[in-house]
C-alpha cells in the first residue's frame, strides 16, 4: 500500500528504519477504505513518517505514544509547518492505533463525585428502561446536573430533605431565562428524575407532581405545512442529473411519502430495505421498529441512488457522506440542510424549513383527502392518539360546520 504513494527517494528514505512503518501501512489501508483521495493519504502518511523518524531520533517507542508526545513533536523546532489539518491526522492515527490495541486507550478522568455517580445511574435508566436516544438523555442530564449542584452543592445527596419549594424555586429561577419549549423540557426532565428517585426508594413521596407547569398551551398553534402541489415542486427541484441531486431526491421522497422523521432517515440501514416484500423497517423513537410499505417511486429512487451514487463504504447506513471519511450522516441537521436547499430551489419560503415540514404536509394532505385521525396516526406511527390531534386544526372545512353564527342586530 505504501509503495503506491511513495516513489520519490526522499520519502522512501523517511520510511527506512521507521518505527511506525507497519502501522503506517494499515493506516493508509484504512484511509483508502474510507475513500480518502490518494494525494490526501500521501500527505497524511508523509507527515506521520516524519513523526516516526523524530520518535527514532529521540529514542522513543510506541509505548510512549500519546497526545502529550504528539504535542511535543508539534512544538519541536522542526515541526513549524504543522497545520490545522495535520492535527486531525494525528488524532486519526492515535484512534487507529487504539482500535488495533497497539497503544493503550486514552485515560479518562472519571468524575467520582456523588452527583456524577447519580447521573450515571439515571443515564442507564433512561437508556435501558425508557429507550431514549442520546440527544434526549444529554438534554435531561444537563438540567438534572444543574438542579443537583444548586440544591446539594458538594455535600451528600440527601434526597429525603427535598421539598416541593426546592423544585418550584428552581423552575421559577430558570424558566424566565428560557424559551417556553426549553422550559417545558426542563420540567419534563425534572418529573422524569423525581419519578426515578421515587421508584428506586430514594424518595418516600413522588414529588413529580410538585413540578410547576409551563404556560405554553398545547394545540395553540396551527401546524406549518405545504400543499401537495408545493411538495411536488420541492421534490422536482432536485437535479437528478447529478449524484447529489439523486441522493437528495431519495431523501425527500422518504420524508414526503412516508412521513419519516429526519433521525429515522439518518438511521436507515441497508438491511432495513426488504425488496422482496416491498417494505422498509423504520427505526423510530423509543427503540421501536416499524414495518412500512415501500411506495414504487421511493423504491425506484433508492435503487437508483444505491446502484449509481452511493460511494463504497464499510458502514451499513443507506445515506453516507460524499466526502471522506465516508460514514453515515452525523445527525438530523444534515437532513434539515437538504430540505432547506430544496425549498430555496423551489422558491418556497415557509415559516418552518426543517425536515419535519414534509411530515406535517403529509398528515395535512391525508386529512384533506378524508382520512381519519386514527389512520393518520398509524402512518405517522404515533404511539398515543392525542399526538395526532393537532392536525384537526387544519381541517377548516369540518371546523366551519361546528362554528356558531355570529349574532347580528337586535343589540345582541
Catalytic residues: 261, 285, 356, 359, 382, 391
Pairing state between β 289-293 and 279-283: antiparallel
Q: What are the backbone angles phi and psi of residue 153, rounded to the nearest 5°?
A: 50, -125
User: What CA–CA distance (Å, rounded) separates 286 from 97?
Assistant: 35
User: What CA–CA distance (Å, rounded) separates 404 from 397?
Assistant: 14
- 14 near 45, Cβ under 8 Å? no
User: What CA–CA distance (Å, rounded) separates 394 from 21?
Assistant: 66
User: What CA–CA distance (Å, rounded) separates 71 from 398?
Assistant: 68
Residue 266: closest CA among 337, 202, 210: 337
User: Which residues are bridge partners to 282 per DSSP?
Assistant: 290
Q: What does the block give as the cell for 376?
A: 393518520
For residue 328, give Cα distances in angstroms to 88, 134, 240, 291, 311: 19, 16, 21, 22, 11
How many CB atoms are closer than 10 A to CB 378?
A: 14
User: Which residues are bridge partners to 289 per DSSP?
Assistant: 283
Amino acid at each position: 500500500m505504501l509503495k503506491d504513494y511513495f516513489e520519490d527517494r526522499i520519502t522512501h528514505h523517511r520510511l527506512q528504519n521507521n518505527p511506525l512503518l507497519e502501522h503506517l501501512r494499515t493506516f493508509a489501508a484504512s484511509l483508502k477504505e474510507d475513500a480518502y483521495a490518494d494525494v490526501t493519504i500521501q500527505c497524511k502518511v508523509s507527515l506521520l513518517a516524519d513523526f516516526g523518524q523524530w520518535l527514532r531520533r529521540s529514542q522513543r517507542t510506541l509505548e510512549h505514544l500519546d497526545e502529550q508526545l504528539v504535542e511535543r513533536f508539534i512544538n519541536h523546532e522542526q515541526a513549524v509547518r504543522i497545520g490545522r489539518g495535520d492535527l486531525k491526522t494525528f488524532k486519526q492515527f492515535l484512534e487507529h492505533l487504539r482500535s488495533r490495541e497497539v497503544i493503550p486507550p486514552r485515560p479518562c478522568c472519571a468524575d467520582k463525585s456523588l452527583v456524577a455517580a447519580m447521573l450515571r445511574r439515571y443515564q442507564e435508566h433512561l437508556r435501558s428502561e425508557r429507550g431514549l436516544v442520546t440527544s434526549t438523555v444529554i438534554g435531561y442530564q444537563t438540567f438534572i446536573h444543574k438542579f443537583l449542584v444548586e440544591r446539594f452543592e458538594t455535600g451528600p445527596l440527601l434526597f429525603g430533605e427535598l421539598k416541593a419549594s426546592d423544585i418550584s424555586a428552581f423552575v421559577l429561577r430558570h424558566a424566565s431565562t428560557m424559551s417556553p419549549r426549553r422550559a417545558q423540557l426542563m420540567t419534563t426532565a425534572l418529573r422524569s428524575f423525581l419519578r426515578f428517585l421515587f421508584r428506586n426508594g430514594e424518595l418516600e413521596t413522588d414529588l413529580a407532581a410538585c413540578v410547576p407547569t409551563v404556560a405554553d398551551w398545547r394545540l395553540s398553534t396551527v401546524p406549518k405545512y405545504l400543499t401537495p402541489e408545493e411538495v411536488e415542486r420541492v421534490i422536482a427541484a432536485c437535479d437528478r442529473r447529478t449524484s447529489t441531486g439523486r441522493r437528495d431526491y431519495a431523501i425527500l421522497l422518504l420524508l414526503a411519502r412516508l412521513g419519516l422523521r429526519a433521525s429515522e432517515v439518518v438511521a436507515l440501514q441497508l438491511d432495513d430495505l426488504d425488496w422482496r416484500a416491498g417494505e422498509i423497517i423504520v427505526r423510530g423513537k423509543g427503540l421501536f421498529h416499524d414495518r412500512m410499505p415501500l411506495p414504487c417511486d421511493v423504491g425506484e429512487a433508492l435503487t437508483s441512488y444505491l446502484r449509481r451514487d452511493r460511494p463504497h463504504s464499510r458502514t451499513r447506513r443507506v445515506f453516507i457522506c460524499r466526502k471522506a471519511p465516508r460514514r453515515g450522516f452525523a445527525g438530523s441537521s444534515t437532513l434539515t440542510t437538504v430540505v432547506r436547499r430544496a425549498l430555496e430551489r423551489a422558491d418556497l419560503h415557509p415559516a418552518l424549513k426543517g425536515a419535519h415540514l414534509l411530515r406535517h404536509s403529509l398528515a395535512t394532505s391525508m386529512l384533506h383527502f378524508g382520512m381519519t385521525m386514527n389512520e393518520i396516526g398509524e402512518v405517522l406511527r404515533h404511539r398515543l392518539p392525542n399526538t395526532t390531534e393537532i392536525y384537526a386544526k387544519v381541517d377548516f372545512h369540518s371546523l366551519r360546520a361546528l362554528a356558531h353564527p355570529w349574532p347580528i342586530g337586535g343589540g345582541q
